[in-house]
A and B are shown apart, each in its own frame.
Chain A
């Protein structure tokens, strides 16, 4: 768990600190070095098919992808925790109806709903993460509901209620803090999920738009140009895969720790 998290931290730090320090910004064309090989004239990873520095683009793309992912995961966290907590706490008919809705939504082809949203409301970066966050909260809701149901019958909760605390205050003060650990584990697992959706949309041209870039766009550009320079695909693809694998491993470890 330490190695994956360290790798993630390293990539995040590089994406945050390095771009302004590089000799070439991510969106400026170097006319004298179009499709340059790695290590030519200050282009550490070379340039893409129109002469933009690949390292700078990969780092900026990572930054965009990760910020979208984090924002969307937070949206998912808020909706999921709220929905799950209310369902689990209320119980009975309310719980039944709310979880049936989650079940029904689970069965839907979500990527298509997100694509519809993108098409209908235009392709703004705000909508990308609102849309993704709005569909990625289902698992969170289920997990939080399960936790709340378990906590509901614990002595300290019953004691708080017996002491006359208002129901909502008990939920907020005594139950939710105990859900935090599991919620954070699932937040960590939601991030790679969201990274994947964002890259998927950007890959199809429906997510982040030029001149902004993201790992999905870079993989797409690299794939289109891979017969000329494979590094254009390998660099952003490598970063994307590293992030996804490390976040998944760390999230699973954390989840198992809280589940036990």
Chain B
């Protein structure tokens, strides 16, 4: 097990470096730089600024310096938010995004697996078919449509919840963003859980359990659920990626001070260090989730452990 983790972490390093290099080069070859504003700068000032940020050195040297700094936890100064370092901005935004994403993940898992359980109890029945259509509906409605609709209904019409804002993580402010973020993922999980359960319920060991006269609920939870969750676990990494990208748009709609908003702002303003840091962080998170998914996978299904 330990060697598996170590090996996966070792292969993660080149992937991560590749991502950083790719986005680094892309940002540097972009037309226009952080010092091109509406008012042209005095050439001497411009030179001085470029030299101060080390942007006159060869590309590979800049990349080397950058990697070295990152290893010390220093992502450089933000070029747009002048008084902040990128590390400070990330430290402010990350907790918001993680809270949001974590809660959405829990909600999506609960909703998805629950729906899958109910649907698989009687495969082909009316409930199953209705839930199947519902899951398809959930997966195909993007969160940037659900979010405004939820706001329209619960905030503007009914007035139960606030329209937007973070308010230091007050619970009412979090309800709508978390739901909007979780629904598409919940739909996919419901489909996977249902398919997994239907497959598991048809297996020999379940038939044996039934023949021994165990209660249907015991069979469902003790014998069928664990193997049925294997496809759900392998979906955890794409789900995490989906939540991260969804968070970008949700944070924009609800005006939440998370990482995704900084990313969009940084991208629109060519704030290289900020964008690089966020992309690196996202890539690292997704790799981490892939690793976790593999570990859970092995725990759920002993056959894949070798």
Contact = CB atoms under 8 A, between A and B. Distances in A.
A112 interface: yes
Contacts of A245: 136-137, 140-141
B106 to A, nearest CB: 21
Interface stretch (A66-74, A83-91, A226-234): A226-234
Contacts of A220: 144
Contact of B267 (A115, A240, A252): A115
B283 A120 contact: no
A117 B267 CA distance: 10
B115 interface: no
From A110, A116, A122, A245, residue with most partner B Cβ within 10 Å? A116
A223 interface: yes
Interface in B126-158: 136-137, 139-142, 144-145, 147-149, 151-152, 156
Interface residues of A, number: 41
A219 B263 CA distance: 21
Interface string A108-148: 11111101111111100000000000000000000000000
A237 B27 contact: no
A200 interface: yes
B145 A240 contact: yes
Interface string B239-254: 0010011001100110
Contact of A104 (B15, B141, B152): B15
Contact of B29 (A120, A200, A223, A249): A120
Nearest to B140: A244
A111 B26 contact: no
A65 interface: no
B290 interface: yes
Interface string B261-291: 0011001101000010011001100110010
A7 B264 CA distance: 35
A117 B136 CA distance: 30
The A interface, classified by DSSP as helix, strand, loop or mixed, is helix
What class of interface size applies to chain B in its complex with A?
Answer: 35 or more
B121 interface: no
Given A116-B279, A119-B270, A219-B148, A108 B286 contact: yes
Contacts of A240: 142, 145
A114 to B, nearest CB: 10
Contacts of B156: 226-227
Contacts of A205: 268
A109 B245 contact: yes
A204 B149 contact: no
B40 interface: no
A136 to B, nearest CB: 14
Nearest to B31: A122
Contacts of B253: 223
B142 A244 contact: yes
A192 interface: yes
B292 interface: no
Contacts of A111: 245, 248
B84 to A, nearest CB: 21
B251 to A, nearest CB: 11
- Which 3 residue pairs across A and B have the least CB separation, nearest first? A223-B148, A120-B30, A111-B245
Interface of A: 104, 107-113, 115-122, 192, 196, 199-200, 203-206, 216, 219-220, 222-223, 226-227, 230, 233, 237, 240-241, 244-245, 248-249, 252
18 contacts: A107-B290, A109-B241, A109-B244, A109-B245, A111-B248, A112-B278, A112-B279, A113-B23, A115-B263, A116-B26, A119-B30, A204-B249, A204-B252, A206-B267, A222-B148, A223-B151, A223-B253, A226-B152
